[in-house]
């Protein structure tokens, strides 16, 4: 009888410990999302084409074919409330014959302070890859709120690059 109560108490403590250690799911707010079904909204369209055949989600993708290093401004986002949060720029990327590196780049402009960037240099793509999810983030302190956010892709070399399912989300810090 005492052993049974001991086991029940031990099981209850184990469950309570596991629940207290589990991290709550962080809610995200989508600030911008483009599944890429055409060139609508793309800022730098020089060297960028819509590819309806090569796609990660069935809606098409943006294709960049370049013989030299290039930074392509894909989208711009303004008027967001992102103070004291984490901005996360995500996209799916595919490469073919890339000599060099491909990665996402996000620029945040702060009134009176200038522009600052974040790059996904921790996981650049090179060579030929299938669809790969990539992201870069920017931590914002209390009182920091960008008035303009630029979402770029950098091809630091040459080759073919496809971009699909582009998103900017706000997550808790």
Specify if 82 maps to a domain: yes
Specify if 1 maps to a domain: no
Specify if 10 maps to a domain: no
Q: What is the mean pLDDT of residues 77-100?
A: 96
For residue 26, what pLDDT is reported? 60
* Alpha-carbon distances, residue 17 vs 11, 14, 22, 138 (angstroms): 10, 5, 9, 33
Q: Structure tokens of 87?
A: 């901005």
For residue range 41-50, list pLDDT tens digits in order.
999 989 999 9
Q: Full-prediction pTM beyond 0.75?
A: yes
In the predicted structure, residue 24 carries a pLDDT above the cut 70: no
Specify if 62 maps to a domain: yes
β-partners of residue 109 are: 115, 148
For residue range 119-170, list pLDDT tens digits in order.
999 999 999 999 999 999 999 999 999 999 999 999 999 999 999 999 999 9
Task: Indicate the pLDDT class of residue 1, thresholds 50, 70 and 90.
Answer: low
Q: What is the number of domains present in the chain?
A: 1
Look-up of token digits 């483009």 = 34
The CATH number assigned to the domain holding 50 equals: 2.60.120.260
Judge whether 34 and 168 are in contact, CB under 8 Å: no
CA dihedral 144, 146, 152, 154 (to 10 degrees): -40
For residue 7, what pLDDT is reported? 36
26 secondary structure, DSSP code: P
Residue ranges making up the domain that contains 55: 27-171
């Amino acid at each position: 009888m005492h052993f049974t109560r001991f086991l029940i108490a031990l099981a209850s403590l184990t469950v309570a410990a596991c629940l207290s250690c589990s991290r709550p799911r962080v809610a995200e707010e989508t600030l911008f999302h483009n599944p890429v079904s055409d060139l609508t909204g793309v800022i730098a369209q020089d060297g960028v084409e819509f590819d309806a055949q090569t796609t990660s989600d069935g809606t098409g993708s943006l294709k960049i074919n370049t013989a030299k290093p290039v930074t392509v401004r894909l989208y711009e986002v303004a008027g967001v409330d992102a103070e004291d949060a984490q901005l996360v720029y995500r996209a799916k990327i595919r490469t073919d014959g890339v000599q060099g590196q491909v990665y996402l780049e996000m620029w945040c402009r702060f009134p009176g302070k200038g522009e600052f960037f974040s790059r996904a240099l921790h996981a650049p793509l090179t060579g030929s890859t299938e669809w790969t999810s990539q992201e870069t983030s920017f931590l914002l302190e209390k009182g920091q709120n960008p008035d303009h956010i630029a979402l770029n892709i950098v091809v630091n070399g040459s080759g073919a690059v496809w971009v699909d399912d582009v998103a900017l989300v706000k997550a808790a810090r």
